[in-house]
């Protein structure tokens, strides 16, 4: 399975002027389709991603524009994103923008590097992972009662997460919003699965029995060599991913690669919670 190469309290400032040596690092997989696309990015130097431990003053907001590379023209102005992941090792900025047509585009941050962050928007038929507007398909995900060949059922340490009581199929029959996380805290090469799961645990405590939450691991065992059925069931080529479905099992949001409690709560609000 192909995983992302980028990783996911920091100080912040309202001044967007970025140092000249900074680069933009994509924190999203290239599985975008027309409609609202989510483009989380982080800041990096030549030595690597800028971490919160460096004392860097992260801007509280960034603004950017979208360039259509086929015509080398700005097609969307004044896209903004707030600083997120303040308690992550590497904070990020999740831009969201509506793009109607497939093609190749560039996210250029104001006062940032000219080369920006390139991304592609694909035809709907080219992306097999379930998308916003699709029904979230049921799946007999591993539970504490029935691991279904996945051991351990949860790699979170020191204790497994509480989201293995229900299968995804069971959760989808409860007529409530569902949060379904596919990711492996112990083996995620991006360094974002563990923070994502901890954020989901935090949000689940706040929403209580108004939502059903399910977590599925990416590998079948501790060797992290065999991909688990949860991954193939959704045709995933990346991790982690959080699918948010409403009470009718329709996906209203999908958070890929890096996301915090604030984004999860906003996604659940989209599901009517």
DSSP letter string over 14-36? S--PPPTT-EEEE-S-S-B-SEE
Pick the CATH number of 168-270 from 3.40.30.10, 3.40.50.11540, 3.40.50.1820, 3.30.830.10: 3.40.30.10
Hey, is 102 helix, strand or coil? coil
**For each of the chain's 273 residues, which pLDDT tens digit applies?**
333 333 333 455 665 667 777 899 999 999 999 999 999 999 998 888 888 878 888 999 999 999 999 999 999 999 999 999 988 989 999 999 999 999 999 999 998 888 899 999 999 999 999 999 999 999 999 999 999 999 999 999 999 999 999 999 999 999 999 999 999 998 875 678 899 999 999 999 999 999 999 999 999 998 889 999 999 999 999 999 999 999 999 999 999 999 999 999 999 999 999
Instruction: Give the C-alpha separation, 183 to 218, whole Å.
Output: 6
Q: Provide CB contacts within 8 A for 173, sequence distance 6+.
A: none
**Domain map (residue ranges) of the chain:** 12-126, 168-270
Residue 208's CB is within 10 A of a number of other CB atoms, namely 7
How far, rounded to the nearest angstrom, does the alpha carbon of residue 227 sit from its chain's CA centroid? 19
- The neighbouring-strand residues paired with 58 are 12
Q: Do domains 12-126 and 168-270 have the same CATH topology?
A: no
pTM of this structure: 0.91
Q: Which of 249, 248, 245, 243 is nearest to 271 (CA)?
A: 245
- The neighbouring-strand residues paired with 36 are 98
Q: Which of 155, 153, 133 is nearest to 145 (CA)?
A: 153
Q: Does domain 12-126 have CATH number 2.60.40.1930?
A: yes
- The neighbouring-strand residues paired with 93 are 41
For residue 156, the 8-state DSSP code is -
**Is the Cβ–Cβ distance between 118 and 69 less than 8 Å?**
yes
Instruction: Give the C-alpha separation, 62 to 176, whole Å.
Output: 35
Give backbone dihedrals phi and psi of 201, rounded to 5 degrees, phi first: -60, -45
State the residue for tokens 């405590």: 205
């Amino acid at each position: 399975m192909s995983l992302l190469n980028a990783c996911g309290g920091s100080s912040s400032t309202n001044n967007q002027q970025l140092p000249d040596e900074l680069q933009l690092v994509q924190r999203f997989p290239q599985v975008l389709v027309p409609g609202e696309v989510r483009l989380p990015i982080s800041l990096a130097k030549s030595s690597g991603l800028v971490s919160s431990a460096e004392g860097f003053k992260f801007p509280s907001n960034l603004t950017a524009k979208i360039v259509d590379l086929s015509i080398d023209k700005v097609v969307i102005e004044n896209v903004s994103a707030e600083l997120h992941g303040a308690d992550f090792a590497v904070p990020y900025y999740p831009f969201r923008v509506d793009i109607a047509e497939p093609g190749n585009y560039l996210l250029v941050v104001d006062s940032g590097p000219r080369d920006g962050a390139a991304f592609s928007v694909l035809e709907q038929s080219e992306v097999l992972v379930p998308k916003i507007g699709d029904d979230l398909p049921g799946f007999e995900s591993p539970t504490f009662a029935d691991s279904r060949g996945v051991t351990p059922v949860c790699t979170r340490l020191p204790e497994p997460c509480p989201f293995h009581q229900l299968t995804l199929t069971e959760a989808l029959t409860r007529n409530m919003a569902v949060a379904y996380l596919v990711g492996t805290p112990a083996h995620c090469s991006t360094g974002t699965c563990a923070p994502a799961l901890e954020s989901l645990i935090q949000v689940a405590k706040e929403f209580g029995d108004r939502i059903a939450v399910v977590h599925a691991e990416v590998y079948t065992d501790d060797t992290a060599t065999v991909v688990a059925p949860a991954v193939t069931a959704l045709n995933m080529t990346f991790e982690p991913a959080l699918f948010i479905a409403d009470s009718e099992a329709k996906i209203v949001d999908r958070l890929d690669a890096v996301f915090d409690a604030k984004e999860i709560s906003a996604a659940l609000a989209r599901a009517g919670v």
